[in-house]
Structure formats: structure tokens, C-alpha cells
Structure 1
Amino acid sequence: MADPAALPVTDPHAEPVSPVRSSWTCLLFLANVGLWFALITPIQVLLPKQAALLDAGDKELVFGAVTGVGAVVAAVVTPLAGMASDRTTSRFGRRHPWTVGGALAGSMGFVVLANAGDVVVMTLGWCLVQAGLNATLAALTAALPDRVPVLQRARVAGIVGITQIVGTLAGTVVITTLIVGIGGGYLACGVAVILGALLFAARTPDTVLPPTDAAAESFGAGLRGIWVSPRRHPDFAWAWAGHFCVQVGNALGVMYLLFFLTDVVRLPDPDAGLLIAMSLYAGAVLVGAVVTGALSDRSGRRKPYVVIAVLLMGGASVLLVIWQTWAVTMLAALTLGLGFGVYASVGLALLTQVLPAATARAKDLGIVNISNSLPQVIAPLVATLVLAHLGGYRSLYAASAVVTLAAGLLITRVRTVR
């Protein structure tokens, strides 16, 4: 029997109705694992180490500046690449050229990073990585509403959602135990994202838009429609704002974990501690995402699970406000992972159900993905200020809790999804 995802589509913008098979989901999973291996592992391990190597006295400032500039690039590129993907009429499909092309461009950035001898070159390399990999992200994210019916979406979204932590954990293991040197780590990131992208593009179908399709209008005309009006699409606006707050809260909680374990908990081996914490986090994410996705699809409800998710994530940050020990750090990692797993399945499913237009799925999801990128700009700025002048890591984790809990209030304002 043919894979339902491979059957001809008479209307490329219609809501999918045929369930996707496990083979398709597995390939999407692997492509996303490779992407997050390459996108998050540098932030967790390689960029902090390189910042300390280039300027040990101002390592936090260097790290924040590099990730902040790269996040601005990502915020600009993601919706533009998504919009271009919506209008691509290549014989190879509308999504696959961007999946593979972005992976190749991002890998060139890793080569630059591996040879960076100063902060300027490091910043340029990371910007190229962000530009390429966020083009890949825009194409892969659009696969969910393109191919997966609503009644199956939270389950598949949960599987896609755990790829961020699986990719990060795999990257942490590889970089800290198997690869010697920062340069080798960057090259491993490039290999991971290219392999995942090529496998997905080679083994899954992609809709080919005819040149006369309305979605193939000029890129310039499309730019005029990139803005999504909150007044005309309030549910999209509320969901976007809530997702943004979840990502800001999460970034405040995890981006400085290596420094926290080194400077506050004072572990003798902070790299090993980071690996243990990420392993606990990953296991909890897996449980939360898989279990919640199935429950949400069966009940048809999304918002109650979002509330549970933000309460768990906010609670994890509160733990680190009160107790800054290694034992509590492990408990917080478990709690945060469980909450993020719950949100990963239902949050993404909810967002795909409030997209403004079927003809612009990748562009609109690119706008959603801005809420993943902007926290990388905001979190370092906030963290630098808080750590230096407003109470240190206790205040940082308090801010993480407040912002995360605010996300639940925002998403409950969505009216068209239960």
C-alpha cells in the first residue's frame, strides 16, 4: 500500500485528511534531530567555550553579543525563507530545496566558526549558520500542516517537539565525549544537519506547485503580505505571544546553565553535570510529549495542557530561585523537561490550527519561528543586566518563572481552539 503522504494532491493548500504513516514521521523526526543538533548544541556548549577562549574576562558579554546578532538574522530570514518556500515551483518541490539548501549554507557557517580567530569572524560564522539553518527550519515546520491532519497533529507534533531536546542531547554527548576540540564539534554539527536534510528530501514526497499557481506570485508582491494583522487574526496573535513567552522563559532558564553549574553550583566537572541534567531533561520531555499528544488528540483539547505545561516550567525555575544546589538542579531539569514536553506537543498543534492562510503556511510558521529566535536576542540582554546588577542567578530564574507563567494567560485568550 502506498504511503498516504505520497498520494497525489489536487489542492496543495487543502487541509490534509489522510493520516501519515510512521515511516514518514520517522524521517521528519531524524531531519529535525539533525537540525537541532546543529542549531542548539553550539549555543549550549561550543559558543560559550569559544567565547571564553577568545575573551575569558568578558565571556558572558561575547556569548550574548554573538548569539544576539545571530538571532536577529534568524528572525529576518525565517519568514522570508518560508514565504519563498510557499511560492517555489521547482520540479524538486516547494519545501525540499529549502530544506537541503539551508543545511548546506549553514554548514558553510560551521566551517567559518571552526576557523574563527576573533569575535568578529565568530559572529559572521554564527550569522551564516543561523541564516541557513532557519531556512531549513521554515521548510521542515511547514511539513506538519502540509501533511498531517488535525486529528493526528498533536501526536506528530509531540514527536517533532522532542527532537529539539533529542538533538541537543545527542549533540552534547558527541561534543563532550567523542569529539576533541571546538573546531571538530562545529564540523560534526554540519555533518548532522546535512545527513538529516538529505535523507528526508530523498525519501519523502513534496508537492510541486505549477508555475500558474497563485502561490507562485512574485516575491515582491509576497513581501506586502508578510505582516499578519493582530486585529484580523487575534487568535494567531495570542498564540504567537504565548509561544514567545514560553521561549523567552525557557531561554532564560537554560542558556546560562553551563555558567550556572560552573560559577554558582561549582561542580568539579560542569561539562559532565550539563550532560546529566540534559539527560534527565530529555527523558522527561519524551514522556510529556508522547503521552500528552495522544491525550490531546483524543480529547480535541489543547489549552488545558498548555496551562499544565507552563505551571510545570515555571515551577522548575522557582526551584532554582530557592535552592541552588546540584540535587535541586537535577529535580528542576526533570520538572522543566516534563513541562516542555507537554507544551511541545500541544503548543505546536495549537499554533498550526490558528494559521491565517493555507496558501502561506511556511511564511506564517516562519513568523511563529521568530518567537523562537528573538528570545536568543532578548535573553542575553536581560541575563547580562540581571546577572550584573539585579540579583544574579536567583533573579534570573525568577524572571524565567514570571515570563513562562504569563504565557499560559496569553494562550487562554485563543477562542477558536479549545
Structure 2
Amino acid sequence: MAGVAVGWCLAQAGLNAMLAGVTTPVADRVPLTQRAQVSGWTGLMQSFGLVLGALITTLLIWAWLTRFLINLGNALGTLYLFCFLADAVHYGDPGTGVLILTLIYTLCAAPTAFPAGVLSDRIGRRKVFVVLCSLVMAAAAVLLALLHTWRSALAAAAVLGAGYGNPQLTEASTNSPKLRIPHVFRPGPLTPPTVVAILKTRQ
């Protein structure tokens, strides 16, 4: 409650500072016969600013959400491998299994990421590749969720690696200021595996 109150006061302070700079020049610089018109435009721009701010917020949320989900999907398919191999697959040596799957994941990421980047630059389109890679990664997630075998884990590692390199194509089509906020939350998917690892070691 205290945080909401402080935030509200800060928002009102900024709003009042903005309104003071907008309304005061009307009385000083606008002729008396035109003040009502100018004041009307001032009020209209305030409403327009609210709409524009909401749209910008929506775009930022969408940018963060899509990047978070892609990284979350990749984190679930890589950072939980040790627990998955030990508890679900019952692989004899989970540590070695993680090493093998990570190697397959990496080897399959490079051959798809570079050609996709070249093709994306040639045709000047990014979204189609991002959507495609998201579907590929989703297929790997479904494979891991339905089949708990070593062979299916090998196949999922290859599929996940093939899909993950391509989301980075969005970097080329977006300038750096737009990427700052989404990247702030990028480490989010790394937190649950860290907690799980700590809990596992204490058992």
C-alpha cells in the first residue's frame, strides 16, 4: 500500500509539472480570442498521450513476454537436464548425459542459425524465422514432455538446438533502446534451475 501511495504521488508530481508547462504559456502567449481553441487542443493531446502510452506499454510487454517465453523454453530444455535424466529418464550417469545432450544441442544450433541469418538478411524479414524457430522449440518441448527415454532426449536436444539460434535474428531488426527492457528480464528463466539445484544438494 505504501508503494502504491508513493508511486501515485510521483506520478501526480510529474503530471502536474507537465501540465504547468503546457497551460501557462496559453495565458501568456495566446490571444484571448483563441485561448479556448488552444486549451481544447491541449486537453485533447493529454488524452492522446494516455492512449499512446498504453500502446507503448503494450508493445514493451509483448517484447518482454515473447523473449521471456523463448528463453524459458530453452531453459526448461537445457538447465533442467540433470534432474530430467536422473528422475524421469533414470539415466545411469546424468552428468555425462547432460554433457552429451549439451554437445548435440550446440552442434545442431550452429548449422541452422548461420544459414537462417544469411537468408533473413537477403529477404529482409525476421518474424517468419522467429515464428518458425518457436514452433521447432515447441516440438522439442512436447517430445521431452511425452517421451522419457534416452533416445527421445537425444532427438529433443537436436531439435531444440536447431530452433534456438534463430530468435536472435530479432536483434538485427530492433535498435538497442528497444532491447534494453526485454534483456533486463532475460535471466528470469535461470532462477528456478538454480533453486532446484540448491534444494537437490541439500537432500
TM-score normalized by structure 1?
A: 0.32
Q: 1:285 to 1:295 in 2, by over 3 A?
A: same
**Structure 2 CA distance for aligned equivalents of residues 284 and 239 of structure 1:** 26
The answer to whether the aligner puts 1:253 opposite 2:77 as a matched pair is yes
The match for 1:348 is 171
Give the CA RMSD over aligned residues.
2.5
- Partners of 1:236 and 1:296 in 2: how far apart? 24
The residue number in structure 2 matching 1:268 is 92
Deviations 1:33-68 (A, max 9, x none): xxxxxxxxxxxxxxxxxxxxxxxxxxxxxxxxxxxx
AA aligned opposite 1:376: L
Correspondences of 1:234-245 after superposition (within 5 Å): 234-245=58-69
Q: In the TM superposition, what is the alpha-carbon distance from 1:323 to its structure 2 partner?
A: 1.0
1:327, distance to aligned residue in structure 2 (A): 0.5
1-structure distance, mates of 2:115, 2:57: 31
Q: Is the Cα contact below 8 Å between 1:284 and 1:338 reproduced in 2?
A: yes
Where 1:271 maps in the other structure, the secondary structure is helix
1:283 corresponds to: 107
Are the equivalent residues in 2 in contact too, given 1:258–1:274 (CA < 8 A)?
yes
2:68 alignment partner AA: F
Matched, 1:326 2:145: no
Q: Cα–Cα, structure 1 residues 262 and 318, in superposed 2: closer, same or farther, change >3 Å?
A: same
Sort the Cα spacing of 1:319 and 1:262 in 2 relative to 1 into closer, same or farther, 3 A.
same
Report the Cα distance in structure 1 between the residues aligned to 2:54 and 2:113, rounded to whole angstroms: 29
1:375 counterpart = 2:189: yes
The equivalent residue for 2:138 is 314
Looking at secondary structure, tell me which structure has more helix per residue. Answer: 2
Displacement of 1:383 after TM fit? 7.8
Identity of aligned residues (%): 37
1:375 to partner: Cα distance:
2.1
Query: Is 1:338 aligned with 2:162?
Result: yes
| 1:296 aligns to 2:120 (yes or no) | yes
- Kept after mapping to 2: 8 A contact 1:287/1:341: no
Q: Deviations over 1:94-143 (max 9, x none)?
A: xxxxxxxxxxxxxxxxxxxxxxxxxxxxxxxxxxxxxxxxxxxxxxxxxx
Which secondary structure state, in structure 2, belongs to the residue aligned with residue 317 of structure 1? helix
Displacement of 1:325: 0.4
In the alignment, the residues of structure 1 paired with residue 70 and residue 120 of structure 2 have an alpha-carbon distance, to the nearest angstrom, of 19
Q: Is the contact made by 2:137 and 2:164 (CA closer than 8 Å) also made in structure 1?
A: yes
Q: 1:285–1:339: 8 Å Cα contact kept in structure 2?
A: yes
5+ residue gaps, structure 1, are 1-228, 356-360, 385-418
Task: Give, in angstroms, the shift of residue 235 of structure 1.
Answer: 4.1
Q: TM-score scaled to structure 2, two decimals? A: 0.63
Question: Residues 382 and 268 of structure 1: is their aligned pair in 2 closer, same or farther, counting only changes over 3 Å?
Answer: closer
Deviations 1:322-371 (A, max 9, x none): 21100110000000000101223x13324x34x5xxxxx4xx54422223
Aligned-pair CA distance for 1:236: 4.2
Whole-Å separation in 2 of the counterparts to 1:274 and 1:243: 25
Q: Distance in 2 between matches of 1:272 and 1:370?
A: 32
Where does 1:120-199 land on structure 2 (aligned, <5 Å)? none
One-letter identity of the residue aligned with 1:372: R
Counterparts of 2:57 and 2:179, CA distance in 1 = 14
